[in-house]
């Protein structure tokens, strides 16, 4: 069964497990990352810092506060991923709503899936590249994401969340297309 066919809780479990493996394999948290100005620690910091506010403001849910990313990025990630998985595993979550002025009212599990789990998926590449680990992403999920994002290109760029698209060959594999679309150089390596 492909990632795309899974329910939000199971998709998060699988995608988060891949990111967790990269967190556990990281040896140098100060290593530069593919996002300009970021290091490996900042990749974890991004995920740990933006999402709790999104949940709190949109659904009134406060995740348990974990350790600081500055003190222990692996423990900070573990605390958050455990809390998010518990939320997604809660049978009440699909009946809850996240309200956001930009996206309207969305079932909570779908909001987590569309915004957070997708972000974890894409940042797995960043952390893997920064730390010299396996950077392969699920090709079917890459293809689905890039095709779904193409019609929203202008909106995504204007949000400030994505850099300018990096040109890739028209026949590039889905991962290369996705990485280029979100503004990363698919051939980036630490200097």
Phi and psi at 66, nearest 5°, equal -100, -170
Contact status, residue 64 vs residue 55, Cβ threshold 8 Å? no
Which residues of the chain form beta strands (DSSP E)? 97-100, 104-107
Classify the C-alpha dihedral 177-21-98-109 as positive or negative: positive
Q: What is the pLDDT of residues 26-67, one digit of tens each?
A: 999 999 999 999 999 999 999 999 999 999 999 999 999 999
Instruction: Give the closest residue to 127 by CA, choosing from 46, 52, 51, 6.
Output: 46
The answer to whether residue 143 is domain-embedded is no
Instruction: Round the average pLDDT of the chain to a whole number and report it.
Output: 94
Distance CA 118, CA 135 (A): 16
Would you say residue 180 lies in a domain?
no
Residue 70 domain-assigned (yes or no): yes
The CATH number given to whatever domain includes residue 15 is: 1.20.120
Note the pLDDT tens digit of each residue in 120-159: 999 999 999 999 999 999 999 999 999 998 888 887 777 7
Question: What confidence category does residue 183 fall into, taking pLDDT thresholds of 50, 70 and 90?
Answer: very high
Q: How far are the Cα atoms of 31, 39, 53, 161 from residue 181, in angstroms, in the given order?
A: 23, 21, 26, 12
Range of the domain at 130: 3-136
For residue 82, name the pLDDT band (cuts at 50, 70, 90).
Answer: very high
Question: Phi and psi dihedrals of 164, rounded to 5?
Answer: -60, 145
pLDDT of residue 186: 96
Q: Is residue 89 part of a domain?
A: yes
Q: Is residue 80 part of a domain?
A: yes
Is 22 inside a domain boundary? Answer: yes
Q: How many separate domains does the chain show?
A: 1
């Amino acid at each position: 069964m492909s990632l795309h066919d899974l329910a939000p809780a199971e998709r998060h479990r699988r995608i988060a497990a891949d990111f967790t493996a990269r967190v556990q394999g990281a040896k140098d948290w100060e290593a530069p990352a593919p996002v300009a100005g970021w290091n490996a620690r900042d990749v974890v910091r991004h995920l740990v810092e933006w999402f709790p506010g999104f949940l709190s403001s949109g659904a009134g849910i406060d995740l348990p506060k974990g350790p600081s990313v500055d003190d222990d990025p692996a423990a900070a990630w573990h605390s958050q991923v455990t809390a998010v998985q518990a939320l997604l595993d809660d049978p009440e979550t699909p009946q809850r709503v996240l309200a956001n002025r930009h996206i309207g009212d969305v079932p909570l599990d779908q909001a987590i899936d569309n915004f957070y789990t997708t972000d974890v998926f894409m940042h797995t590449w960043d952390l893997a590249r920064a730390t010299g680990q396996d950077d392969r992403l699920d090709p079917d999920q890459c293809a689905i994401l890039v095709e779904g994002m193409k019609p929203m290109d202008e909106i995504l760029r204007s949000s400030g969340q994505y850099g300018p698209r990096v040109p890739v060959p028209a026949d590039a594999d889905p991962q290369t297309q996705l990485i280029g679309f979100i503004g990363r150089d698919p051939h980036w390596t630490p200097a």
